[in-house]
Chains A and B, each alone.
Chain A
């Protein structure tokens, strides 16, 4: 009898424990444990994925860098080009930015993966990637110039990651000076959907200082945009997490041309950054070029919280002088010389003449 009562008592106790509602604190603690378990599982999965992709034995070690790939994937010629590209990238970084620049690439651990595409999967595409998931497709056969550009780009990403103030000064132009990149940035500024970007392109250094500051929740929108930009701001703004027919109806009205709807939405939306990180990356590159071989060391030592102040310190000049010389440099890249139009003119003329000649000989048609 007593055994039976004890058993029943135990069963009731278990049932009561099982059905007892958990308190908020208990649930909060359980949530933290569940999210921690999820984080560990996701990290372990990423590790296993890497092992799956690269295996354990394949790899190329060059200086302090490591590139992993499946040995069966790359030919000896491509492997050699990859190695030369890595060296070339580091050599250029050392040449432009001194040892501090080269050291940014030393710890880079890169991976080369392959994938097959097409209906019969005849195309093998190679990509090179870094641990922070920057991925670039490689042409075949592997071009060492392309690999070198990737290494420099990666070093730019690392530099901006190491200096929290300059986290938004990355992108493909960081640490990669060149007239082609400058011309592209000049064109993007001139055609920007933010009035400040266009004013900067026209030579207003104050507007360049505005766009050099990444837009955030507290940024004064009037500095960046004019009312005529509002439609573009709404079109590109981050949309709210909760879809809402009322919001989308207002958005549709704005995009159809209702300026009042646009003006209202602009004030409540979280606008997208009108100036991409790569344009700011170009300012970073220019500051480092002005700063010489000690530029990176000065930048890493700077404790400024304002990005432009840190860049001016690295460049060894004032903020206005930095922006002014940057503007002059990027617009010098798009100015055409008197003979730049000769080749397009001759090409157009040649094709027109050829087609005319064929058209007049009707029997060929």
Chain B
């Protein structure tokens, strides 16, 4: 008996000692505030944030300036311009892709001018190319798609019709100039829920809904409202339809924005959308929202909503009798698997643990009863 107690106490002490050794030592978040290396590390972070902020401001200003320099065509037309250094093969491929996409969007006479401008940016870093959409400021101005590539890559770059070259300009080609409330909504949200008109074939034909529980990662922060909406929160559904540009800005892009310039950058040139890199399939749920709405309402009814004098919410209620929040909730539910927000117990793991516990208990009892008999 004494021996058994000794073994038990010894095992307990050994286990506690092992746990004590395994507990990681607390290390300060920043090793030494006075260390010049860490000071420089922080300065590099500030310089990087500063560079990103100015880079994005420059991209948007340059895109808007390019659009302003464009002549206003007399009637709606497709305009394509290339930098002279871009080869004939690449030009032809991009031109054909763009025109095919415009024809597919308009499905009839073009309602508003659209332009594709492809240039070379030898100074660009951290990317092979960038694509911006510049919405028109005044009547008759073309909606412009601006592509800037780093030179030789443009020859072999995977730009296809399915890459949604048109972006938000697809809505302009199909429905013309939006009414003032929709125009304001596009500017307020940076047109994030209207990033393309035609839902890409792979996305529309994807029979399996997006598994939100499995897709959870850093990028899930970008789609946090999609998760909230799927969990039944109405306010989150509203934010899926009208995302806050400040919140998105801090999560998108290639690094943090300089503190103090977040608001400025988020609201700078709101008619210009720069396609962020790293946009995953699950982001398309949000980006395809207006495209899906147009598909469901049909061209005529959506055209009235688009050109109407009421807000998107009011126009949708007037057309269908349902609120936009309800529709968004149903739409997100149709594209994603069920998701329960908050703490929970994983079912399979729990069942497995219970099964093992019951098996062990049964075995111990059987052994004890055998010993007694």
Contacts and interface: CB of A to CB of B under 8 A. Distances in A.
A123 interface: no
Interface in A16-72: 21-24, 27-28, 30-31, 34-35, 37-38, 41-42, 44-45, 48-49, 51-52
B158 A269 contact: yes
A3 interface: no
B331 to A, nearest CB: 17
Interface string B52-65: 01110110011001
B44 A34 contact: no
Given A27-B54, A38-B51, A242-B275, A247 B158 contact: yes
Contacts of A218: 152, 155
Contacts of B270: none
A245 B215 CA distance: 14
Interface residues of A, number: 40
A113 B228 CA distance: 48
Nearest to A216: B152
B157 interface: yes
A171 to B, nearest CB: 24
B206 A241 contact: no
B277 A38 contact: no
B54 A34 contact: yes
Given A22-B57, A41-B40, A45-B44, A245 B51 contact: no
Interface in B331-357: none
Contacts of B58: 24, 27-28, 30-31
Interface stretch (B78-86, B123-131, B239-247, B305-313): B123-131
Interface stretch (B195-203, B230-238, B317-325): B195-203
A331 B113 CA distance: 64
A246 B57 contact: no
A218 to B, nearest CB: 7
A31 B202 CA distance: 38
A45 B325 CA distance: 50
Interface in B180-205: 200-203
A215 to B, nearest CB: 11
B40 A34 contact: no
A249 B199 CA distance: 14
B279 A242 contact: yes
Interface in B32-84: 36-37, 40-41, 43-44, 47-48, 50-51, 53-55, 57-58, 61-62, 65
Nearest to A19: B264
Contact of A217 (B61, B62, B153): B153
A120 B21 contact: yes
A240 to B, nearest CB: 5
Interface residues of B, number: 47
B127 A241 contact: yes
A243 B125 CA distance: 17
A90 B368 CA distance: 75
B295 interface: no
A49 B37 CA distance: 7
A12 interface: no
Contacts of A357: none
Contact of A270 (B43, B47, B153): B153
Interface string A233-246: 00000001111111
Given A30-B54, A45-B40, A246-B162, A240 B61 contact: no
Interface in B246-299: 275, 277-281, 284
Contacts of B47: 34, 37-38, 41-42
B22 interface: yes
Given A41-B43, A242-B278, 13 more contacts: A27-B62, A38-B47, A41-B47, A49-B37, A241-B128, A245-B203, A245-B280, A245-B284, A246-B163, A247-B163, A248-B202, A249-B202, A269-B156
9 contacts: A22-B57, A38-B44, A242-B277, A243-B278, A244-B279, A246-B201, A246-B203, A268-B156, A269-B156
Q: Which 6 A-B pairs have the closest CB atoms?
A: A249-B202, A245-B281, A27-B58, A38-B47, A246-B162, A34-B51
Interface of A: 21-24, 27-28, 30-31, 34-35, 37-38, 41-42, 44-45, 48-49, 51-52, 119-120, 216-218, 240-250, 265, 268-270
